[in-house]
């Protein structure tokens, strides 16, 4: 069984603030260790379930967070950026299942550290009028390859968001959101136990599970936090200006849509 793990940091137990998530944060290195250990717990659960090939994609920020020398020896690590498919780079139809570790809720929710790809520039991303966060947008890429997304870990509100997209998904709730920068956290050891157990359950009878898919054509709307970001993105003719804060585009192919979303965010982030 070939398993793919996409790992973020905001949904990790004990991570609640920018000091944890930003490269220059005083507590960032400690958060990286917490992230690495939660990923290891997922790897252990996958091995117990019978996985014989595991790839981990470091999916947070610069994508250089997981400590390679502390990662479980049975997994390979995809790290660094930019990547064309970002948080799901390297995914193919050869995988049997995908698991998301340390994920967070979409921008504008009450989830701890909520945002959608970039808290600096993005207000909302809508696909066919449905507001979607990183979980849904990435799960659509997974489904594009006809692979099921079977597991997610993070806060209680992220678990709700994931179940709204994939009702049967297995989840490990490692903290309860209180505000954007506060949460009631399980201990790291208890969080890792839940992740290992949930991973193992999620991979049982995995070939019978249904990938999350939406049929095109897709209309994508990206609403920015600042009109200057929309000004910059609108320069490329693929994007149509809907209103001062919003650009949109249409495409039949979800993989193209995902890359256009990522491209728009990179352009917006270049604006000072």
Please tell me the total number of residues recorded for the chain in this structure: 272
| 104 a catalytic residue | no
Q: Are 214 and 128 in contact (CB under 8 A)?
A: yes
CA distance 229 to 271: 7
Q: What separation, in Å, do the N-terminal and C-terminal C-alpha atoms of the chain show?
A: 46
CA distance 145 to 113: 29
CA distance 155 to 168: 17
Catalytic residue (choose from 20, 28, 60, 115): 115
Written as six digits, the tokens of 183 are 């949460």
Please identify every residue annotated as catalytic.
115
């Amino acid at each position: 069984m070939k398993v793919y793990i996409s790992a973020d940091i905001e949904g990790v137990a004990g991570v609640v603030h920018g000091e944890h998530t930003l490269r220059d944060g005083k507590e960032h290195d400690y958060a990286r260790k917490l992230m690495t250990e939660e990923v290891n717990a997922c790897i252990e659960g996958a091995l117990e379930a019978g996985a014989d090939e595991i790839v981990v994609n470091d999916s947070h920020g610069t994508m250089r967070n997981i400590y390679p020398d502390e990662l479980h020896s049975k997994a390979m690590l995809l790290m660094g950026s930019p990547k064309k498919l970002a948080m799901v780079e390297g995914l193919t139809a050869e995988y049997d299942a995908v698991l998301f570790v340390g994920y967070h809720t979409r921008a504008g929710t009450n989830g701890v550290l909520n945002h959608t790809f970039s808290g600096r520039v993005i207000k909302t991303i809508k696909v066919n009028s449905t507001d979607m966060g990183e979980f849904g947008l990435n799960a659509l890429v997974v489904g594009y390859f006809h692979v099921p997304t079977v597991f997610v870990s993070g806060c209680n509100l992220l678990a709700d968001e994931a179940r709204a997209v994939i009702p049967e998904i297995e989840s490990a709730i490692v903290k309860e959101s209180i505000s954007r920068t506060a949460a009631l956290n399980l201990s790291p050891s208890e969080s890792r136990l839940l992740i290992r157990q949930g991973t193992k359950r999620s991979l049982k009878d995995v070939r019978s599970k249904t990938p999350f898919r939406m049929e095109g054509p897709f209309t994508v709307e990206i609403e920015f936090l600042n009109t200057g970001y929309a000004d910059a993105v609108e320069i490329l003719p693929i994007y149509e200006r809907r209103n001062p804060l919003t650009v949109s585009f249409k495409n039949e192919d979800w993989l193209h849509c995902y890359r256009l979303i990522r491209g728009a965010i990179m352009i917006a982030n270049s604006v000072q």
